[in-house]
Structure 1
Amino acid sequence: MALPERAYYPLEKAVEKLNNECGCNLDVQDLLHFAAIEQLELCVFISGDSSEYVEESMHEKLEYLQSGLQVIKDCGFNVSSFMDFSKISADDVYNCGNKKVIYRSYICDYFDFRQQFNLSTKETEGFSFEGIFAIARDEFRKCEFNYLKGLSCLIETNIFYVPSGVIDEGEFFYPEQIRFPISFKFGVSDFVITDVELNSFKSIIDTTNDSERINKIANLKPRNFSRKTENSQAKFIKSLIEAVFGKHVAANPRWHNDNERGELYKLFANKGIKHVCGKALEGWIKDEEVEYK
């Protein structure tokens, strides 16, 4: 009996799968390189529970407040999610003391995410999460070169994202970003790639020789703009998408761009315009935050 496909792959298993199925000759360093040039998304396992951090010291709380980040239930987390309160029914509301609360969960092959909202204020009052979440792709350049030198190859970060392409469209609740009050270190053995990302990466590998494959992937991202300019352009595009179509489209542009039922797909189709690759769009704007006055 054939086993089902994995939901995510450690780097060694990802290399083995790519080499077997695409005729490549890749190794772990290649995957770190593609992560460094923002063509491959790598994830790690994290977990957290707001109830476990309420005893955080006052010094840590004040330090986090001074950074301008929201403190949820007196703990140093910042958790952002999409929640459409218009879809709430009376059966979803519970009495908790003198207030009404809503409990929501998003459970999939990659993570479990649960959140509690105050119905009147729409504010988060509790949450827990456990599973695979993505690291910003621009974190991997130093990691790649340390790996080449045989040095300790660590990523240190406190911000994590929902992996690309794993949110089912039509959901009215799902997580977007998790920010810890402190940074954590992850090594090569901690990194995994989701099946969605791996299949997307495979799609850009053709049947030509290895050097042409490498050039094709490496040249997908234009290099004639500064990082500051690229970030400004990405923020503008994400802000425009959110202003026109809403937060749910800006948070999941890949699906809306590549799926016939998606808002971006329908817009381009109606105008007779060929749309860009959804993977490229999501990878470009995913790490940007839309700012409100």
Structure 2
Amino acid sequence: MREALFIKRNRNRWRQIQDNPSDHPDEMAQEFIQLVEDLGYSRTFYPVSKTTLYLNGMAAKKYLAIYQNKKESGNRVIHFFRRALPLIIAKHHRVLLISFCLFVLFVAIGFFSAKNDEAFVRRILGDEYVDMTLQNIKDGHPFGVYGYGNAFLSFLFIFINNVKVSLYEFGGGILFGYLTVISLVQNSVMVGAFEYLFYNNGLLQDSLLTIMIHGALELSTFVIAAASGLVLAKSWLFPGTVSRIHALKQGAKEGLIIALSNIPMLFIAAFFEAFLTRHADLPLWLKLCIITLSLAIVVGYFIVYPIRLRRKLNAVHF
């Protein structure tokens, strides 16, 4: 058989294994057996071709996936956070980048819209909230809103509400991403208008240093949640070489996993907002440490680590 015909006959199956690998043990084993058979044929008839190198790498990854799955079956939680989740995130890094760019764009739109229209902040945040904040600024407690109420009850309310928002943005992806994008736009514009309110009163730096105690994590979850919904929408709109239903199932699974990865950060962000942000007089060094560590966790786990892990796996040869 000519190499071109060999590739044509098996190309779709290889792409399916590469882009949508199964995580079921029996199916993983079957995929590995098929790859080994294809690799043996390719080595026999096309020993120095790119096809053989490609199948060699594919088989190596599948072998490592099976071995790792058996090795870590006793501790699935660690395996999930060390390998499964980072690889899913790496697979959808472009979607995450799009979500981040939309967030930054609409924060800027919210900020400059407020700058050019005095009534914009009140339309976005509401008269009651704006009047309360302005009164707090006048009284010398610009961030007093974070000090109201019982800290523990505030923590529970914030955490539950933000989890609902995260899951809503994921679920919105089923309507071609429309609800996901609308939610991201609304939250982003609100952040921009909110920051302009403090900027207009000469408190932008104080605002960032105080609110980013919890905001570094919370705002990151906005981006990640929106990315989870866009992953679902992408699978529905652009199924690629597989059937639309199969792509939708895979997109729903991976999007939900990304959305649920927000929960630990939402928990910590809610704790920070309820128990720390209310103390606007925290030392500057402590604020900077919390913000820097939070950003390092987000960038490290959701950007740097997935890239390094994927490169490491791609570099392995069978």
Q: TM-score range by the shorter chain?
A: under 0.3
- Between structure 1 and structure 2, the one with the greater Rg is 2
The structure whose residues are more often helix, as a share, is 2
Whose strand proportion is higher, 1 or 2?
Answer: 1
Higher relative contact order (CA 8 A, sep 6+): 2
TM-score, normalisation: structure 1: 0.27
